[in-house]
């Protein structure tokens, strides 16, 4: 029986899909196609492998501390998936992330096969995807690194390419000759016309020992430092945390640079399984437009949007009515706190806007107005120099941390459900249309003892209203 371990690489920030995707809520957790998020789709895909010769083990999610509860909440919606989360203390790219997964998978014994996929891709033909993964697993049994290659349908400059030989073996795989970086347009046209190049999907299948052997050959320093951090790990039920101080010393590098691109011509055999399944990595707004449903003029509309006398345009409206007249080849994205307008063919350059926002210290590059927390969410409705108004929802049975503030007082008004309020030495229940006051500096906590979501309106007042004015005394979610 061959042991399979699905591995979801879930550490990206998706800056080119700003303002919908942000560091605090990146694209893999968004629903951009279908009914589930891209992350949920990826988990379901790699858990679809079936066969009497395979034993599917728990899914390993490699993500970071900031996104652990986003991932956990979305996993719980899938219900049938058994998963554990490997939490990177700091971002070190995909090669160290995969090494953590290989070391964890090795604990199962019998040298399991890793089925590795990014968390932020979409596939149109799920049955073709499942068939390709099954084929890849069979090809990886003998120690191959097996990568899935996408047949290109246009001269794309935003993807890396795989150069493969023209001989399709009995197992349905090609030998990989070399890898090519993202090309310019002229080179991409040559690749397309040659017929021997595929897009690099970033999905691959290999034994855990194959990855560790290849890393030892090509990047022994990385293997040593990641292993040291792994050996110092802590295990908190569903969360596994490598030692932070030791992981800080790891040199960040991608799977491709560290290992995959060095395999051709070495003793690490690498092959490619062709994949034709309507794949896209949704790397920019143009890719979202390409994979969406269009009207007769090539327009794609999401949300409350209207177009007239326009063509090949994408409007994504999150909160308000968005209209446009007489425009072509545009992307217009509206959120509660930002609007993006960009030439669709220049959508890869949205990352420049994000870089400028970050340089200026603006919160819009990181967080939405509505911010999700492990206990629920808050939405900053209004604010001025000395006040801020929030709408807060707390999940049934959840509690915020026991905390205090140095610079603000708070008024809470319950608009739905029942709140258990700790204020100093007093604990009381307040219900709909009732309110309470939290003085500046008072120790307090908000909890939901009920079975329906609790919603309150919070009015903050004081000299400083930043989120960093929180002194946590107790916290169920391990936050300092």
Q: 451: domain CATH number? A: 2.60.120.10
Residue 38 placed within a domain: yes
Residue 219, domain member (yes or no): yes
**Residue 303, CB-side half-sphere exposure with 13 Å CA sphere:** 17
| Distance from C-alpha of 192 to C-alpha of 232, rounded to nearest angstrom | 47
Q: How many CB atoms lie within 10 A of CB 73?
A: 13
For residue 274, how many other CB atoms are within 10 A of its CB?
16
Are 317 and 346 contained in the same domain? Answer: yes
In the listed set 356, 390, 409, which residue is the last one of a domain according to the structure? 356
pLDDT for residue 179:
92
320 and 398 fall within a common domain = no
pTM (two decimals): 0.90
> Strand, helix or coil at 280?
strand
Tokens of 343: 């030439």
Q: Are residues 196 and 302 in the same domain?
A: no
When divided into structural domains, the chain yields a total of: 3
- Specify if 387 maps to a domain: yes
Give the whole-angstrom CA distance, residue 366 versus residue 18: 10
Q: Are residues 41 and 101 in the same domain?
A: yes
CA 298 to mean position of chain CA atoms: 29
The b/e string for 50-59 (b: 16+ C-beta within 10 A; e otherwise) is: eeeebebeeb
pLDDT in the model for residue 170: 64
User: Which domain, by its residues, includes 107?
Assistant: 2-280
SS3 394: strand
Q: Which residues of the chain have pLDDT under 50?
A: none
Q: Does a cis peptide bond (omega within 30 degrees of 0) precede residue 404?
A: no
The SS3 call for residue 346 is helix
Same domain, 204 and 140: yes
Asked if residue 480 belongs to a domain, the reply is no
272 and 304 both lie in a single domain:
no
pLDDT at residue 169, as a whole number: 63
Strands (DSSP E) contained in 313-453 are 314-317, 322-325, 330-334, 339-343, 370-373, 376-383, 387-394, 402-404, 408-416, 419-423, 426-430, 435-438, 444-447
Question: Are 267 and 384 part of one and the same domain?
Answer: no
- Alpha carbon separation from 464 to 378, 423, 440, 459 (Å, rounded): 18, 21, 11, 13
Classify residue 391: in a domain, yes or no.
yes
| Residue 479 counted as domain residue | no
**Closest to 118 measured CA to CA, from 194, 24, 11, 25:** 11
Count of Cβ atoms closer than 10 Å to residue 394 Cβ: 24
**Do 232 and 136 fall into the same domain?**
yes
Question: Is position 81 within any domain?
Answer: yes
Which of these three, 227, 253, 280, is where a domain ends?
Answer: 280
Three-class DSSP category at 204: strand
Cα separation, 43 vs 75, whole angstroms: 8
Same structural domain for residues 7 and 127? yes
Contact yes or no for 114/102 (Cβ under 8 A) = yes
* CATH number, domain containing residue 48: 3.90.550.10
138 and 276 belong to one structural domain = yes
Residue 58 DSSP symbol: P
Which of 302, 327, 356 is the last residue in one of the domains? 356
pLDDT value, residue 453: 97
Do 320 and 174 share a domain, yes or no? no
Q: Which of 288, 294, 204, 304 is nearest to 254 (CA)?
A: 204
Contact, 463 vs 438, CB < 8 A? no
DSSP state of 364: G
Tell me what pLDDT residue 158 has: 84
Looking at residue 480, what is its pLDDT? 67
Q: What is the pLDDT of residue 167?
A: 73
DSSP state of 265: T
Q: Flag whether 365 is in a domain.
A: no
95 and 41 within one domain: yes
Q: Which residues of 335-348 are buried (b: 16+ CB within 10 A; e: fewer)?
A: beebebebebeebb
């Amino acid at each position: 029986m061959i042991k399979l371990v699905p591995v979801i690489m879930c550490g990206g920030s998706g800056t080119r899909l700003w303002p919908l995707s942000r560091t605090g809520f990146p694209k893999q957790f968004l629903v951009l196609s279908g009914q589930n998020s891209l992350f949920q789709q990826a988990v379901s895909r790699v858990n679809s492998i079936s066969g009497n010769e395979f034993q599917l083990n728990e899914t390993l999610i490699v993500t970071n501390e900031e996104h652990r509860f986003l991932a956990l909440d979305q996993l719980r919606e899938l219900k049938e998936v058994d998963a554990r989360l490997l939490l990177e203390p700091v971002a070190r790219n995909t090669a160290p992330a995969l090494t953590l997964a290989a070391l964890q998978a090795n604990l199962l014994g019998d040298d399991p096969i890793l089925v590795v996929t990014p968390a932020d891709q979409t596939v149109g033909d799920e049955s073709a995807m499942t068939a390709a993964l099954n084929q890849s697993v069979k090809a990886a049994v003998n120690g191959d690194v097996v990568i899935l290659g996408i047949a290109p349908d246009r001269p794309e400059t935003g993807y890396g390419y795989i150069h493969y030989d023209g001989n399709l073996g009995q197992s349905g795989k090609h030998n990989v000759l070399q890898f090519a970086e993202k090309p310019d347009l002229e080179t991409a046209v040559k690749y397309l016309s040659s017929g021997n190049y595929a897009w690099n999907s970033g999905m691959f299948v290999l034994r855990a020992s194959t990855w560790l052997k290849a890393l030892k050959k090509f990047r022994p320093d990385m293997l040593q430092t990641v292993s040291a951090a792994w050996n110092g790990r802590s295990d908190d039920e569903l969360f596994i945390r490598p030692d932070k101080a030791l992981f800080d010393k790891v040199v960040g590098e991608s799977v491709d640079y560290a290992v995959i691109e060095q395999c051709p011509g070495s003793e690490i055999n690498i092959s490619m399984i062709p994949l034709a399944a309507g794949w896209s990595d949704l790397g920019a707004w143009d890719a979202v437009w390409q994979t969406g449903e269009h009207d007769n003029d090539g327009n794609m509309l999401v949300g409350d949007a209207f177009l007239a006398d326009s063509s090949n345009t994408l409007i994504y409206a999150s909160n308000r009515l968005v209209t446009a007249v007489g425009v072509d080849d545009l992307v217009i994205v509206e959120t509660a706190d930002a609007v993006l307008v960009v030439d669709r063919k220049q959508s890869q350059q949205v990352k420049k806007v994000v870089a400028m926002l970050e340089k200026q210290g603006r919160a819009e590059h990181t967080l939405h107005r509505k911010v999700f927390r492990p206990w629920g969410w808050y939405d900053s409705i209004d604010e001025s120099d000395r006040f801020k108004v929030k709408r807060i929802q707390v999940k049934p049975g959840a509690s915020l941390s026991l905390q205090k503030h140095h610079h603000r007082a708070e008024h809470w008004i319950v608009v739905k459900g029942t709140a258990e309020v700790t204020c100093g030495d007093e604990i009381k229940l307040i219900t709909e249309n009732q309110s309470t006051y939290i003085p500046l500096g008072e120790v307090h906590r908000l909890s939901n003892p009920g079975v329906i979501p609790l919603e309150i309106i919070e009015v903050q007042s004081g000299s400083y209203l930043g989120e960093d004015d929180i002194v946590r005394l107790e916290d169920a979610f391990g936050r300092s």
